[in-house]
Amino acid sequence: MTFMIMKTLCFFHERSLACIHCHPFSVLLIHNNGRGREKLEREHEESSREILPLYLMNPVGTVSYTVMENRWSLQGMTALVTGGTKGIGKAVVEELALLGARVHTCSRDETQLQGSSHEWQAKGFQVTTSACDVSSRDQREKLMETVSSLFQGKLNILVNNAGTCITKPTTEYTAEDFSFLMATNLESAFHLSQLAHPLLKASGSGSIVFMSSTAGVVHISGGSIYAATKGAMNQLARNLACEWASDNIRANSVCPWFIATPLINDYLKDEVFKKEVESRTPMGRVGEAEEVSSLVAFLCLPSASYITGQTICVDGGATVNSFSLRWSLQGMTALVTGGASGIGHAIVEELAGFGARIHACDKSETLLNQSLSEWERKGFQVSGSICDVTSRLQRETLMQTVSSLFGGKLNILVNNAGAILTKPTREYVADDFSFLISTNLESAFHLSQLSHPLLKASGSGNIVFTSSMAGVVSIDCGSLYGITKGALNQLARNLACEWARDGIRANAVAPNFINTALAQAYLDDAGYKKSLLSRTPLGRTGEPNEVASLVVFLCLPAASYITGQTICVDGGLTVNGFSYQPKA
């Protein structure tokens, strides 16, 4: 039997499409076998933890539920999305609303606003609208006054989505073209962020997402001015992430590839152009708006609380079904190495919370047995085995075990096991080199090789490498450690392209110092910790579940167009070239 505490939400039975309306704060008890349903009404009690139901319809038509905590909910939060009546903007509005946020959106087109408003009202979304041309400074100020009034001077989320494109050779742009694109794409986002700052600060937990483009990361045929505005947005996100971190405001930018929207569809009508785009895309297709909106929503969730200053590309992936399936791992299988402690332990729990069946390995039998007992008490579907990942033979035995447990299929491989050995470069000996390469790099490479047929057989495979910011920038933890992590980041890029046609995605997650036993020796050094935190805009070390949440998101169907990326979970450290915060 599965129990769930619910808030007002609407579920549709897979076969009958009957709507089951649930009274606010009711408790619904549902037998998984479908033979009975008992509904008990009771008063909602104040709690320090909200509950969000994550649901899905399984193949036999019964309904199953997983209880998730408020880290995966936007209930009670407020959001402003510019350009929200079509394309990616509309998808973002709906994604945020589905997760419980109250949303205000704007558009230049009042007809589109009215049509979208009726549609959202019919869906039961809490969305208000107003007309606004974001290229006008006066209208931006009026918009923010409206938002402040609607949300009582507080705003949790600002999504700077409105934008446009004029494609010309650089030599043919006029001064008017430059002014128009700068005002619409860049100045509007900059000014709205300024105007939103006091509201975001007042909310106690603010998040800004800039809708950028891969044109701001690499060259594509979209016009140099458009690209300049998007590149500027990416840098603005980095700057605000550092400057406003002390106000508890995060800032990130999302960079879509070619997405099937009204803005892009005219280009895609050109079959030669479309074929070229698809040939350059590892997954062989353009993306869908909802594949971008899922990342935007994730970055606004409390579960993304240690991700700031990042530019994340949404530029490759597989087709998704409905919202419910996109945010569930029900029926999926996972292998997590080094899963009995620290970040690995948090990853296992987060995956299990989303419904995955997991096999975890660890070289410590004591830690593994303690964790297995804990997970059994929590009702998680987790098995485990002892494995020293430095041993080739034990890696092969591990994968044989996994193949047997999961019927020859595996959806998720998290290469998390690792070690650190800090010395000056001149003092490393050959054994140090062999040990770190074997533990951190060779194990991940070999396990990826061994898991390939299982991942391919699943039809939707995901590899996540637990890397480190030491593989992105230089930090004082040893050059050999940095080498192994930089290699993991590049391995993720290579596998993302090489195995894309097998339905396998690969990404790397690069944490800052996280509160784990592995990092404790460094954090116990007061001088080291003070120096570290002075460079970290959010001013603190991260928690294991703040890394685990990103790992799990990358494994969700909702992240189906994200592959080959190295994403830092670092409180903004790797984008902080220099930041000085004078005392008030």
Catalytic positions, please?
Answer: 481
Look up residue 45 and give its DSSP letter.
P
Task: Give the whole-angstrom CA distance, residue 487 versus residue 448.
Answer: 14
**For the chain, how many residues are written?**
584
Q: H helices then E strands: how many in the chain?
A: 19, 21
Task: Give the whole-angstrom CA distance, residue 489 versus residue 468.
Answer: 9
Task: Give the whole-angstrom CA distance, residue 254 versus residue 251.
Answer: 10
Q: How far is CA 111 from CA 34, 66, 228, in A?
A: 45, 40, 31
Q: Please state the φ and ψ torsions of residue 275, each to the nearest 5 degrees.
A: -65, -40
Look up residue 465 and give its DSSP letter.
E
Task: Give the whole-angstrom CA distance, residue 301 versus residue 326.
Answer: 16
Closest CA to 64 of 98, 24, 13, 99: 13
CA angle 325, 330, 331 (to 5 degrees): 115
Residues contacting residue 322 through CB under 8 Å, at least 6 positions apart: none
Q: Answer whether 421's CB lies under 8 Å from 472's CB.
A: no
Residues contacting residue 385 through CB under 8 Å, at least 6 positions apart: 359, 361, 368, 398, 401
Closest CA to 294 of 119, 102, 96, 156: 96
Task: Give the whole-angstrom CA distance, residue 87 versus residue 158.
Answer: 17
Task: Determine how β-strand 78-82 pairs with β-strand 102-107.
Answer: parallel
Residues contacting residue 448 through CB under 8 Å, at least 6 positions apart: 413, 415, 463, 491, 495, 506
CA angle 146, 152, 153 (to 5 degrees): 75
Closest CA to 215 of 171, 153, 267, 176: 267
Handedness of CA 506, 511, 515, 516 (dihedral sign): positive
Burial of 342 (0-12, 13-18, 19+ CB in 10 A): buried
